[in-house]
């Protein structure tokens, strides 16, 4: 069986490639953890990914996100998730991963041929 | 066999670029593309951060509370720009700490413009108008650059930049309507910042060997000289509103070209400043290193606190 889900850290790079120019003393360990930031810009809208930042803990991540991403009232709610906890689909598998939807045109309303006289449908 | 595979991947990659499909962090990309982006984005990030220093110099001496508040807001924005860009570079596989090291050791460059001093209040106006103006000229096309995280960071930055340029022009406009000394101060600042701003677009096209590849990869969307010409054309008109002059005796409208002609650029000065011999290179890096070193205990304390909280929480659960 093929596994479609591999751990993909959005802002991180540890699981697939190593930093090419790395000086070898693992400088990334000197950084605070990386967090992904999601912001709801107004009531009724979804939280949307806006970028990432470093912070020592969740509280600091939220405060930094406020300072970095909402200086002009761009948000009313902030989510932060430590980047290492994000799992993502693998773009290399897209062809096979999304292929179940490829041959199902009947999921779209335009698939159905109905007379023009039919109104309000 | 492996070589064959790489060639195929490269042609798929170029195909996507040609169709204006963005490249995202997890997609395959040529190593050279990755390295070019890391260099360009980190240089750009460093420029935003170092760029806070010449302006920060005037925060305590801004002539009114209104000017002080707007200058603080602008400098704060630049810090944000640096952070957006560092994050974008990190998606390419370089750590923040490593980029900071490269800046402090001199391995990484930043825009040569920030190695000039801010001698008078009028300089803050000239920086907003010319330096942010040149930056905007460079940055607007980068909103369509081929690497997704970089393009998204640029969209955010461009939205914030227009206030920077307007507040600068307003400072100069106020001075230009002031007394004789204020007018002279305004002209003097324009005289000193004009040529370094024109140089901000980088070496001329025949002296930038990487331009062709960067254009093919759509990392760059216009050449240095194209953007420089656009900048000169716009400023040559805007300066008239100030009733001031740009310090270039050769500046003249060329009907046939549909552009302003301008005088020769002092590339010797440009390369000297890049090489570290500008008026403020040492001071700028020293200020960054000092801030970083003096902040070390704060970073350590925050990590220690986070760790302690984590341990407490784990203990409470158990
Ligand atoms: Fe900026
Ligand atoms: Fe700016």
**Nearest residue of A to residue B95 by CA position?**
A28
Whole-number percent of chain A with pLDDT over 90: 63
The sheet carrying A77-82 orders its strands as A47-54, A34-40, A77-82
Instruction: Convert the pLDDT of each residue in B80-130 to its tens digit.
Output: 999 999 999 999 999 999 999 999 999 999 999 999 999 999 999 999 999
pTM of the full structure:
0.89
Distance CA B260, CA A61 (A): 49
Give the count of beta carbons closer than 10 Å to the beta carbon of residue B292.
14
B260: which 2 tokens?
Answer: 């302003």
Residue A121 has pLDDT above 80, yes or no: yes
Half-sphere exposure of B112 (CA within 13 A, CB side): 22
Q: Which residues of B146-162 are buried (b: 16+ CB within 10 A; e: fewer)?
A: bbbbbbbbbebbbebbe
Q: B27-61, pLDDT tens digit by residue?
A: 999 999 999 999 999 999 999 999 999 999 999 99
pLDDT-based confidence at residue B154 (cuts at 50, 70, 90): very high
Q: Is the pLDDT of residue B186 over 60?
A: yes
CATH superfamily of this structure's domain A26-87: Phenylacetic acid degradation B (3.10.20.520)
Better-predicted residue by pLDDT, A8 or B89: B89
Residue in A54, A67, A91 closest to B96 by CB: A54
The yes-or-no verdict on residue A7 having pLDDT over 70 is no
Q: DSSP string of A42-62?
A: STTS-EEEEEEEE-SSHHHHH
With a CB-CB cutoff of 8 Å, which residues 59-118 of chain B face chain A?
73, 76-77, 80, 83-84, 87-88, 90-98, 101
Pair B96, B86: CB distance under 8 Å: yes
B275's tokens? 């090489």
Residue A95 has what pLDDT?
86
Average pLDDT, chain A: 81
Give the DSSP H or E segment for B212.
Answer: helix B211-216
Tens of pLDDT, residues B259-273 = 999 999 999 999 999
For B190-249, the pLDDT digits (tens) are 999 999 999 999 999 998 888 899 999 999 999 999 999 999 999 999 999 999 999 999
Q: What SS3 state is found at A118? A: coil
Whether residue B231 contacts residue B248, with contact meaning beta carbons closer than 8 Å, is answered with no
Residue A27 is predicted with a pLDDT of 44
Residue B176 sits at φ, ψ, to 5 deg, of -65, -20
- Structure confidence by residue, pLDDT tens digits, B278-301: 999 999 999 999 999 999 999 999
Closest CB from A11, A27, A72 relative to B87:
A11
Per-residue confidence band for A26, with pLDDT thresholds at 50, 70 and 90: very low
Residues 55-114 of A with CB under 8 A from B: 56-57, 60, 67-68, 71-72, 88, 90-92
* Cα–Cα distance for residue pair B104/B288, rounded to 1 Å: 7
């Amino acid at each position: 069986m093929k596994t479609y889900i591999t751990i993909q850290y959005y802002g991180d790079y540890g699981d697939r490639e190593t930093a090419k120019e790395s000086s070898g003393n693992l400088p990334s360990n000197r950084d605070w953890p990386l967090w992904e930031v999601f912001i709801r810009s107004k009531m009724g809208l979804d939280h949307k990914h806006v970028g990432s930042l470093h912070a020592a803990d969740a509280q600091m991540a939220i405060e930094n996100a406020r300072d970095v991403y909402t200086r002009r009232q761009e948000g009313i709610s902030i989510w932060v998730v430590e980047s290492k906890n994000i799992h993502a689909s693998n773009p290399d598998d897209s062809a096979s991963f999304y292929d179940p939807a490829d041959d199902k045109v009947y999921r779209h309303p335009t698939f159905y041929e109905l007379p023009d006289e039919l109104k309000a449908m | 066999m492996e070589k064959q595979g790489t060639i195929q991947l490269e042609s798929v990659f170029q195909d996507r670029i040609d169709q204006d499909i963005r490249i995202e962090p997890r997609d395959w990309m040529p190593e050279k593309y990755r390295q070019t982006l890391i260099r360009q984005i980190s240089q750009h990030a460093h420029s935003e951060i170092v760029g806070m220093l010449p302006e920060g110099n005037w925060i305590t001496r801004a002539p009114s509370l209104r000017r002080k508040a707007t200058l603080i807001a602008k400098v704060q924005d630049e810090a944000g720009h640096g952070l957006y860009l560092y994050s974008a570079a990190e998606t390419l596989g370089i750590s923040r700490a490593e980029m900071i090291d490269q800046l402090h050791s001199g391995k990484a460059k930043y825009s040569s413009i920030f190695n000039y001093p801010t001698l008078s209040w009028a300089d803050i106006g000239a920086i907003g108008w010319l330096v942010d103006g040149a930056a905007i000229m460079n940055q607007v096309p980068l909103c369509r650059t081929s690497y997704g995280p970089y393009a998204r960071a640029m969209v955010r930055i461009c939205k914030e930049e227009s206030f920077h340029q307007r507040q600068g022009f307003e400072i100069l406009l106020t001075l230009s309507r002031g007394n004789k000394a204020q007018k002279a101060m305004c002209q003097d600042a324009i005289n000193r910042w004009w040529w370094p701003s024109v140089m901000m677009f980088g070496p001329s096209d025949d002296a930038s060997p990487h331009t062709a590849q960067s254009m093919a990869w759509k990392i760059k969307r216009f050449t240095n000289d194209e953007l420089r010409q656009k900048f000169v054309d716009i400023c040559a008109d805007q300066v008239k509103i100030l009733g001031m002059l740009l310090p270039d005796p050769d500046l003249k409208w060329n009907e046939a070209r549909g552009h302003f002609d301008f005088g020769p650029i002092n590339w010797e000065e440009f390369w000297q400043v890049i090489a570290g011999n500008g008026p403020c290179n040492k001071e700028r890096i020293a200020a960054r290193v000092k801030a970083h070193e003096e902040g070390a205990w704060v970073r350590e304390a925050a990590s220690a606190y986070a760790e302690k909280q984590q341990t407490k929480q784990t203990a409470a659960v158990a």
